[in-house]
Amino acid sequence: MTKIGFIGLGIMGVPMVRNLVRAHMDVTIIDNGHGNHAAIAELKGQGVKVMATARETAANQDVVITMLPNGSVVEQVLTGPDGVLADISPGTILIDSSSVSPAESQHFAALAKAKGCSFLDAPVSGGEPGAIAGTLAFMIGGNEDVARQADPVFQAMGSTAVVTGPNGAGSVTKLCNQIICFINIAAVSEALVLGQKAGADPKKVYEAVRSGLAGSAILEQKAPRIYARDFAPGGFLENQMKDINNAMETAKNLDVSLPQAGLVQQMTASLMQAGHGREDNACFVKFYEAISGVEVKTSL
* Catalytic residue flag (residue 174): yes
Largest CA distance in the chain: 63
Per-residue CA distances from 177 to 144, 183, 260 (Å): 21, 10, 14
> Which member of 174, 203, 222, 242 is catalytic?
174
3-state secondary structure 178-204: HHHHHHHHHHHHHHHHHHHHHCCCHHH
How far apart are the two ends of the chain, measured CA to CA in Å? 51
Show Cβ contacts of residue 88 under 8 Å, excluding neighbours closer than 6 positions. Answer: 58, 59, 64, 94, 115, 117
The CA distance from 177 to 180, in Å, is 5
The CA distance from 59 to 282, in Å, is 39
- Catalytic residue annotation: 174
